[in-house]
């Protein structure tokens, strides 16, 4: 999302679903909200006498004007042990009034709620009300008669801090005040209405627990269970996936309009049940489900029926609008997942939220998913579109705001659980190769921030990338919110001349996508307006946008979206929304994107340098580490310089030196590493595991990978360890290196892990970067700035030998079409065997074919570590040694040893890709 509403409001170009300002206000604007509350909040009046009727009218149109002004305080009500629910009615609004609560007048100027509706809600919860409540707080909702209308709901505490909101396009708008106690101020904005009113409700949720087992029967992998009116059903599915459903009213339902599950696992019919006295047991291939009788509880064990995987600590509990499951927590049990959780990847002793959230900052969860993984050997997906709260404290309580349970349980280690979960909701998509190159985004037509421009002006920016030798894979040239486009085909043609693809925001609808794709569009960006009732709209739009590109071209769909739900990994790149620049912004994004991988999200990123602020040093530091994310984008046209306050575009060369050269260094390195990242993308389509990983994913037995130091570093694939600099310093402390040999990418210095590095010298041009021993990294030739113009006659392998044998398999296809899905691809296996001072590099034949595959190519091998070789031979024939890299480059074939880095550079003559060869280094 790019929340630049103010620019468009100034030119009258804001559209109905441009929820920018109000969503930003609802999540990022705490300072503004505090000002707002103190502006309009008067002293509270006594409780309204009509509470006994439970219907409290906001309408005061019949009261004389003088009396209304005198009684300007909002009406209100009290929830306590005597009054468990409240209902109130709003005035009738002939049309929409304002688009954000900061535009609501003070109550004295709006006594009848003609502009904004207000209600003061006081909550006096009974003792222990929130100790174990499925909904976790007071649900508040507003519902209206005409579904196409739109009211927005905001709730503030007595200090003016926003504590809850619902400002999407849903009807009803519903939210929960967490663990409510005290007085809260409900503000409802009639955003887009037509002679409509709403009914507001709030209640104290009262829990009910499952009782004793009253019925148990089943066969062929499906078992029906009852505890009075509560009915439960267990389905045993392939790969020991277990589906557990429970309904207090006895009726099982699916989420309305759901397309989350793409492939339902097949039933596993070979199961047997037995009566163990205190419980019924159901034995499947590798697990045993226990169904305890008094009271009804569930527990999953391994096949030995002795080793617990998970166990309910208490029976299922539900209210009128929520259901939770309570699980025992292991002494060292860790919890991951939840989709994108801004600022964290490990959730033990934390409360994890999932829901329709547009808090782009630390603590937000705008791309969350109702899924988590436990280090105890299981993961859970709740098949729902409703918000949820997952408390991973000493008492693990996981719940959604719905009166049903529909959960899939996957067993195995973290990687295998990710694989099984993504088999259910969709494996990550295979991006086009240009999707791994940097993208640039701006509004060119009618951008009030930058003056009148035209769509073809985007080509001037593309010129800048070319002239500055910077990679550019694609450009978004409009944003849909009043910034349309013109000369589309001509713009697309001009971008193609710069080896870049045309992208467009798709804010209003997808009906124009076919014509736009035929005119050259290959990238589609969705926005918060696509998040409709229950997320179905957002997920459907993602699927449709991807299909719209693929149905009208031979390209692969490439879609971006900022608010999503389970399943979005199959169709889009997720990014963490609109942020303001600060060093903190750099810091909290690190665990965010690494953690998202643990929910099968292979492509998660943030704007380089943020959208709203610009500082040359912070921009450069941010770009350095984001060069190791698969997908990155600069957002231009809305930033202001943090020092001068002046408008500042954010192309990577605009700050001049030394920044331009440093940015070029890292973007060209990113370009060279595309063969490596591309292979990881292909792996993700099979395993569900993306490139950006927390250290704990690869080193699950090392508790230090969950420590404070490791939280702010990540692995790019299994081979690169990246430790970003996220403060204004030239020294990086607390770099944790797990077990193994690690080589400093810049100096060649080696470290033996596990160890922690302090005082690492990291001037502005240096990103702390380490490569694991045994790594074999494919790279494009130096100086490559585009996948299209690269030297296809050369491929490089960067090699870090270790004692013994290591291997790597290169994956290649045409990079842009969908022919790879029919097998049009090739692989090449490289094996390195090292025994002390001697190493052998075996490069296998490239097996397979695709359009454009080179028949032959030369290879450049950079072999790290050790002293200068005595002999380097290719297929038994000695290669000539040169005294410098320049001499080797001029000769084209031979080898050179650099004593400063301990690197041996070897260049081979052109080799047939159909035959393998070996290089001996002794």
pLDDT digits (tens, 9 = 90+) for 599-642: 999 999 999 999 999 999 999 999 999 999 999 999 988 899 99
CA–centroid distance for 149 within its chain? 30
Q: What is the pLDDT of residue 359?
A: 85
Distance CA 227, CA 229 (A): 6
Query: Do 627 and 436 touch, CB atoms closer than 8 A?
Result: no
Query: What torsion do the CA atoms of 887, 891, 894, 898 make, to the nearest 10 degrees?
Result: 20
Confidence of residue 289 (pLDDT cuts 50, 70, 90): very high
Q: What is the pLDDT of residue 509?
A: 67
| C-alpha torsion sign, points 909, 913, 915, 920 | positive
Distance CA 67, CA 211 (A): 55
Cis peptide before 885 (omega within 30 of 0): no
Query: Do 421 and 672 touch, CB atoms closer than 8 A?
Result: no
Confidence of residue 13 (pLDDT cuts 50, 70, 90): very low
Phi first, then psi, for residue 89 (nearest 5°) are -120, 140
pLDDT tens-place string over residues 582-595? 999 999 999 999 99
Query: Do 428 and 603 touch, CB atoms closer than 8 A?
Result: yes
Largest CA distance in the chain: 103
pLDDT tens-place string over residues 132-159? 999 889 999 999 999 889 899 999 999 9
Confidence of residue 739 (pLDDT cuts 50, 70, 90): very high
Q: Find residue 812's DSSP bridge partners.
A: 826
Q: What is the pLDDT of residue 170?
A: 67
pLDDT tens-place string over residues 857-873? 999 999 998 789 999 99
Confidence of residue 239 (pLDDT cuts 50, 70, 90): confident
Q: Find residue 761's DSSP bridge partners.
A: 731
E strands present in 421-576: 439-441, 474-476, 501-505, 521-525, 559-561, 573-575
pLDDT tens-place string over residues 775-833? 999 999 999 999 999 999 999 999 999 999 999 999 999 999 999 999 999 999 999 99
Percent pLDDT > 90 in the chain is: 79
Distance CA 540, CA 255 (A): 14
Query: Do 286 and 411 touch, CB atoms closer than 8 A?
Result: yes
pLDDT tens-place string over residues 647-699? 999 999 999 999 999 999 999 999 999 999 999 999 999 999 999 999 999 99
DSSP structure class, residue 711: G
Distances (CA, A) of 864 to 497, 777, 802, 921: 38, 12, 10, 12
Percent pLDDT > 70 in the chain is: 90
DSSP structure class, residue 61: T
Q: What DSSP element (H or E) covers 387?
A: none
| C-alpha torsion sign, points 580, 583, 586, 589 | negative
pLDDT tens-place string over residues 497-556? 999 999 998 766 688 899 999 999 999 998 766 655 445 667 888 999 999 999 999 999
Kind of pairing between the strands at 308-318 and 396-400: unpaired
Confidence of residue 482 (pLDDT cuts 50, 70, 90): confident
| Tokens coding 827 | 């692989």
Confidence of residue 44 (pLDDT cuts 50, 70, 90): very low
Distance CA 546, CA 530 (A): 14
pLDDT greater than 50 at residue 58? no
Closest CA to 155 of 110, 189, 107: 189
DSSP structure class, residue 148: T
Q: Find residue 863's DSSP bridge partners.
A: 799, 904
């Amino acid at each position: 999302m790019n929340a630049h509403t103010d620019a468009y409001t100034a030119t009258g170009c804001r559209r109905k679903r441009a929820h920018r300002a109000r969503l930003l206000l609802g999540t990022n604007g705490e300072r503004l909200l505090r000002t707002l509350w103190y502006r309009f909040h008067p002293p509270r009046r006594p409780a309204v006498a009509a509470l006994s009727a439970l219907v409290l009218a906001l309408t005061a149109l019949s009261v004389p004007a003088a009396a209304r002004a005198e009684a300007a305080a909002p009406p209100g009500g009290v929830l306590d042990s005597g009054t468990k629910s409240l209902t109130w009615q709003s005035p009738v609004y002939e049309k929409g009034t304002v688009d954000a609560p900061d535009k609501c007048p003070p109550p004295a100027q709006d006594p009848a709620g003609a502009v904004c509706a207000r209600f003061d809600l006081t909550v006096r919860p009974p003792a222990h009300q929130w100790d174990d409540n499925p909904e976790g707080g007071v649900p508040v909702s507003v519902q209206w008669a005409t579904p196409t209308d739109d009211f927005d709901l905001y709730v503030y505490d007595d200090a003016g801090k926003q504590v809850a909101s619902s400002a999407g396009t849903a009807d009803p708008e519903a939210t929960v005040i967490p663990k409510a106690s005290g007085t809260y101020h409900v503000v409802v904005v009639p955003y887009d209405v037509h002679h409509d009113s709403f009914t507001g409700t709030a209640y104290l949720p009262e829990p009910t627990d499952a009782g004793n087992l009253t019925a148990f029967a089943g066969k062929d992998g499906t078992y029906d269970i009852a505890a009075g009116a509560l009915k439960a059903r267990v389905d045993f599915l392939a790969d020991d996936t277990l589906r557990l459903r429970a309904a207090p009213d006895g009726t099982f339902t699916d989420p309305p309009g759901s397309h989350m599950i793409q492939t339902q696992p097949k039933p596993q019919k070979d199961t047997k049940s037995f009566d163990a006295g205190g419980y019924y047991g159901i034995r499947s291939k590798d697990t045993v489900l226990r169904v305890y009788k008094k009271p009804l509880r569930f527990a999953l064990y391994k096949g030995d029926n002795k080793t617990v995987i998970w166990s309910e600590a208490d029976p299922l509990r539900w209210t009128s609008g929520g259901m939770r499951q309570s699980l025992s927590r292991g002494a060292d049990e860790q919890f991951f997942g939840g989709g994108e959780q801004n600022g964290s990847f490990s959730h033990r002793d934390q409360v994890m939220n999932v829901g329709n959230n547009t808090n782009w900052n630390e603590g937000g969860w705008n791309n969350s998913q109702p899924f988590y993984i436990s280090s105890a050997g299981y993961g859970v997906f709740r098949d729902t579109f409703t918000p949820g709260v997952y408390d991973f404290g000493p008492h693990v309580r996981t719940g959604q705001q719905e009166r049903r349970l529909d959960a899939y349980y996957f067993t195995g280690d973290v990687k295998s659980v990710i694989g099984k979960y993504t088999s259910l909701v969709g494996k990550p998509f295979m991006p086009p190769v240009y999707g791994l190159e940097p993208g640039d985004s701006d509004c060119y037509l009618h951008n009030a921030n930058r003056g009148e421009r035209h769509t073809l002006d985007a080509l001037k920016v593309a010129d800048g990338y070319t002239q500055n030798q910077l990679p550019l894979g694609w450009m978004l040239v409009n944003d849909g919110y009043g910034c349309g486009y013109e000369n589309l085909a001509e713009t697309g043609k001009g971008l193609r001349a710069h080896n870049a693809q045309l992208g467009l925001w798709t804010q209003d609808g997808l009906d124009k996508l076919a014509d736009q794709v035929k005119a050259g569009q290959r990238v589609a960006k969705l926005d918060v307006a696509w998040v409709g009732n229950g997320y179905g709209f957002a997920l459907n739009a993602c699927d449709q946008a991807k299909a719209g590109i693929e149905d009208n071209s031979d390209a692969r769909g490439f879609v971006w979206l900022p608010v999503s739900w389970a399943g979005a990994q199959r169709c889009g790149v997720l990014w963490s929304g609109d942020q303001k620049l600060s060093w903190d912004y750099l810091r909290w994004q690190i665990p965010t994107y690494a953690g998202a991988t643990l929910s099968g999200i292979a492509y998660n990123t943030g704007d380089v340098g943020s959208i709203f602020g610009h500082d040359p040093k912070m921009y450069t530091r941010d770009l350095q580490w984001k060069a190791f994310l698969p997908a990155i984008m600069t957002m231009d046209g809305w930033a202001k310089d943090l020092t001068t306050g002046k408008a500042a575009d954010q192309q990577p060369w605009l700050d001049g030196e030394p920044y331009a050269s440093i940015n070029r260094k890292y973007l060209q390195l990113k370009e060279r590493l595309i063969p490596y990242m591309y292979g990881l993308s292909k792996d993700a389509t099979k395993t569900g595991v993306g490139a950006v990983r927390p250290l704990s994913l690869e080193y699950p037995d090392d508790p230090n990978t969950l420590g404070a130091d490791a939280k702010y570093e990540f692995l790019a694939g299994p081979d690169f360890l990246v430790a970003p600099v996220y403060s204004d310093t030239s020294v990086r402390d607390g770099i944790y290196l797990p077990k193994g040999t690690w080589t400093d990418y810049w100096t060649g210095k080696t470290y033996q892990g596990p160890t922690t590095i302090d005082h690492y010298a990291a001037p502005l041009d240096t990103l702390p970067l380490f490569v694991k021993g045994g790594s074999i990294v494919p790279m494009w030739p130096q100086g490559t700035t585009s996948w299209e113009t690269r030297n296809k006659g050369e491929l490089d392998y960067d090699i870090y030998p270790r004692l013994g044998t290591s291997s790597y398999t290169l994956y290649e296809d045409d990079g842009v079409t969908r022919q790879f899905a029919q097998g049009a691809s090739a692989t090449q296996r490289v094996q390195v065997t090292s025994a002390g001072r001697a190493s052998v590099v075996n490069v296998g034949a490239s097996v397979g074919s695709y359009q454009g595959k080179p028949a032959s190519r030369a290879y450049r091998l950079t072999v790290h570590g050790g002293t200068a070789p005595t002999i380097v031979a290719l297929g038994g024939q000695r290669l000539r040694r040169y005294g410098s890299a320049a001499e080797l480059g001029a000769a084209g074939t031979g080898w050179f040893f650099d004593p400063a880095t301990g690197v041996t550079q070897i260049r081979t003559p052109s080799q047939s890709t159909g035959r393998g060869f070996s290089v001996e280094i002794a």
